[in-house]
Amino acid sequence: MADALIIRGLSKRFGGLRAVQDVSFSVKENETVALIGPNGAGKTTSFHLITGFHRPDSGSVMAYGREIVGLKPHDICAHGLARTFQVAKPFGAMTVLANVMTGAFLRDKNATVAREKAREVIEFVGLAAKENTPAKDLTTIDQRRLEMARALATQPRLLLLDEVMAGLNPSEIDQAVGLIGKLSQRGLTIVIVEHVMRAIMAVARHIVVLDHGQKIAEGSPKEIVENPEVVRAYLGSYVHPPTAGES
Ligand SMILES: Nc1ncnc2c1ncn2[C@@H]1O[C@H](COP(=O)(O)OP(=O)(O)OP(=O)(O)O)[C@@H](O)[C@H]1O
């Protein structure tokens, strides 16, 4: 399979803090890759660097054969990379439909076409009954659905999901996992930042682990949960491998 995204030597400092240090990884087309690591590891900053919200100090981001470092977020979105935000930023007073149409307008300025496209993704994420609800009145899971719908309305090839499961209860997490699975079946390439490990294990085929801005491991979910350095830096609180003497 061809590479959708090739990241090489990505670095970003904030004053003296090296938020992302020489990070490299690739994402193949139609693959779901998870970016995990402890708080402050540099995951969201990596998303900001990939999607043009921050400019890296050094490094390269090739998306579908084109260098996108230096492009504006809008142009990166037009190139097929859409993202959600850790803290949802809908237009609160606007309805679900109007919010999603703002995404659809990227591809088509015709309001009728944009409305049609927006309705299609609203239906897909399960918000059809609430298309006229103001965004500020949505529950947490519906706000996440709206975030995804806004991103999907831009018709991306690659979707970057930043902690879309934060604050969801277990059954809502299952619904979100199901939705991500359906997107992958539709052919979308997905990069997901998430702390909910059982969700990561369910959706990701490949995992990249960051710690203090550096990549400390990458591999299949099985390789990652068995990696002692990853367990030490991050997974210790989630996975308890047998200690000496246990079977
Ligand atoms: N705009 C900024 N200015 C200064 N420091 C920043 C800025 N953005 C992020 N940082 C710092 O960079 C480091 C990496 O932050 P980042 O948000 O990328 O981590 P993260 O892995 O996404 O964490 P979390 O899991 O808590 O969301 C942190 O120490 C953070 O405080």
Residues 133-148 have a mean pLDDT of 93
Task: Report whether residue 40 contacts ligand 1, using a CB cutoff of 6 Å.
Answer: yes
**Cα dihedral value 120, 126, 132, 138, nearest 10:** -140
**pLDDT > 50? residue 247:** no
Q: What is the mean pLDDT of the chain?
A: 92
Q: Is the pLDDT of residue 240 over 70?
A: no
Distance CA 30, CA 27 (A): 9
Q: Which domains occur in the chain, in start order?
A: 1-80+160-166+190-239 (3.40.50.300), 84-155 (no CATH)
Q: What is the ipTM of this complex?
A: 0.94
Is the predicted pLDDT of residue 92 greater than 90, yes or no? no
pLDDT score of 245 more than 50: no
Length of the chain in residues, anyone?
A: 247
Confidence label for 242 from pLDDT (cuts 50, 70 and 90)? very low
Q: Which residue has the higher pLDDT, 34 or 243?
A: 34
pLDDT digits (tens, 9 = 90+) for 143-195: 999 999 999 999 999 999 999 998 889 999 999 999 999 999 999 999 999 99
49 lines ligand 1 (CB under 6 A): no
How many angstroms separate the most distant Cα atoms in the chain? 68
pLDDT > 90: percent of the chain: 84
Q: Is 74 exposed, middle or buried (0-12, 13-18, 19+ CB in 10 A)?
A: exposed
Spatial separation of the C-alpha atoms in residues 53 and 55, rounded to whole Å: 7
Residue 87 CA to ligand 1 center (angstroms) comes to 13
Please tell me the distance between residue 115's alpha carbon and the centre of ligand 1 in angstroms: 36
Strands 158-162 and 214-219: unpaired
Q: At what angle do helices 140-152 and 96-104 cross, to 10 degrees?
A: 30
Model confidence, pTM = 0.91
Span 154-165, pLDDT tens digits: 999 999 999 999
